[in-house]
Amino acid sequence: MIKKLDWYILKKLFSTTIFMVVIFSVLSGVVDASEKADDFVKSGLSAYYILTKYFAGFIPFIISMIFPLMVFIAVILFTSKMAGRSEIVAMLAGGIRFNRMLRPYLLGAIVIGAVFWYATQYLIPKANVLRANFQSTYIDSKSAYEIGQYLSKGSSFYIRIDSNTYAGIRNYDTASKKAYGGFFMDRLEGTQVAYKLRAESLRWDTGAKSWKLDKVVERHINGIKEEVTTTPVMDINLNVKPDEIKPDKYLKDKMTTPELKHFIQLEELRGSEGLNDYKVERYRRDATPVSVLILTIMGAVIASRKTRGGSGLHMAFGIILAASFVVMDKFSITFSTKGNLHPMLAAWMPNIIFGLIGIWLYRKAPK
């Protein structure tokens, strides 16, 4: 049963968290707008369009990245004020056990974490679609770095259709959905090439929703024997759609969790490599809401002790821990995407380490 003490702490937790979210959202929006002011002016778009088509997706994206830290700082902020006013001392002196005092923190963290979990699974990816589409259309397309990267790689793309079949598309135009420079496909049997296909062009048939090849030459290889056939027009199933050919660096952010799971399964069936980015994102969507719970309890334990330095000392210690959490999170992700660290371990490692730190702080806290 929730009592008056629980409501008192819960109201402070929710109101301070909302306050921190609003403050960080405004600050991040102002900083990002100042950095992209030239791009916004050159685009010629109205302020309303930029707000609804970019910042409506950018703000949820920023919140999703640092939301656990917002909750952590919010808990330290209002709990240290309670400790400074001797409210916590009065609670403990009145016979309330320390574990009992932590109960509303735990309950509030579960509620906030559950809402955040649902948002990361379904709502924030939809908001990221707005941000990603605006960014790629009006900012990345005008960036000298992005243009240089595209020109250095060219408009040729390589895909893995299945575990034994590889294909290449030369001079692919995303607007017309056609490859003017040709198409090739090779199929392996063991370590030997068993089939080769070459075509003058590849195009997407919008009506039939399928790929078509023009002026096709097929080679069936069986040892030293080779059979060659030519076909004017040929349908082919590549297991990819036109918008999936060109790599999208925002793809993992734009997909909801069910879509992300399906994408990973499909790419694994194709034998694609470099899926750790997507797997880490998949596991982080479950791990990050749990970090809300861990950091909330840590913040309550740290800030509940009354000190001479007041809330300033608590905030300093909390910011150091928050920075350590961010650094550890980035390191674990890098070790997974660039190394051999398992994606699940990379996503959950900060929670595991800070969970152990939280247990140690709890045992050392005066009760």
User: What are the structural domain ranges in the chain?
Assistant: 4-142+274-364, 175-245
CA distances from 181 to 197, 198, 242, 314 (A): 14, 11, 16, 63
What pLDDT score does 152 carry? 43
What pLDDT score does 150 carry? 47
What pLDDT score does 267 carry? 80
Cα–Cα distance measured from residue 259 to residue 257, given in angstroms and rounded to the nearest whole number? 5
pTM above the 0.85 mark?
A: no
Q: Which of 16, 64, 104, 100 is closest to 254 using CA atoms?
A: 64
Q: Angle at CA 174, nearest 5°, toward 171 and 175?
A: 120
Cα–Cα distance measured from residue 51 to residue 232, given in angstroms and rounded to the nearest whole number? 50
What pLDDT score does 143 carry? 58
Q: Are 63 and 116 in contact (CB under 8 A)?
A: no
Q: Are 256 and 125 in contact (CB under 8 A)?
A: yes
Cα–Cα distance measured from residue 349 to residue 327, given in angstroms and rounded to the nearest whole number? 12
* Helices 56-84 and 276-303: angle between axes, nearest 10 degrees: 20
Cα–Cα distance measured from residue 178 to residue 273, given in angstroms and rounded to the nearest whole number? 25
Q: Are 303 and 127 in contact (CB under 8 A)?
A: no
- Tokens describing residue 68: 């656990």
Cα–Cα distance measured from residue 321 to residue 51, given in angstroms and rounded to the nearest whole number? 34
Summarised one tens digit per residue, pLDDT across range 305-316 is 877 656 677 778
Give start and end residues of each alpha helix (H) in the chain: 4-35, 37-43, 47-50, 56-84, 87-93, 98-118, 124-134, 144-153, 242-245, 251-254, 257-270, 276-303, 311-338, 343-364
Tell me phi and psi for residue 158, to 5 degrees. Answer: -125, 135
What pLDDT score does 151 carry? 42
Q: What is the pLDDT along the chain (367 residues), one digit of tens a residue?
A: 788 889 999 999 999 999 999 999 999 999 999 999 998 988 889 999 999 999 999 999 999 999 999 999 999 999 988 988 888 888 888 888 999 999 999 999 999 999 999 999 999 999 999 999 898 888 876 654 444 444 444 567 888 888 788 898 888 877 678 888 889 999 998 888 999 999 999 999 888 888 999 999 999 998 888 899 999 999 998 888 887 776 678 889 999 999 999 989 888 877 677 788 999 999 999 999 999 999 999 999 988 887 765 667 777 877 888 888 888 888 888 888 888 889 999 999 999 999 999 999 888 887 6
Cα–Cα distance measured from residue 105 to residue 303, given in angstroms and rounded to the nearest whole number? 12
Alpha-carbon Rg for the chain, nearest whole angstrom, is 27
Q: If you write DSSP's letter for every residue of 260-327 in order, what string do you get?
A: HHHHHHHHHHHT----HHHHHHHHHHHHHHHHHHHHHHHHHHHHTS--TTTHHHHHHHHHHHHHHHHH
Summarised one tens digit per residue, pLDDT across range 106-119 is 999 999 999 999 99
3-state secondary structure of 44: coil
What is the dotted CATH code of the domain comprising 175-245? 2.30.30
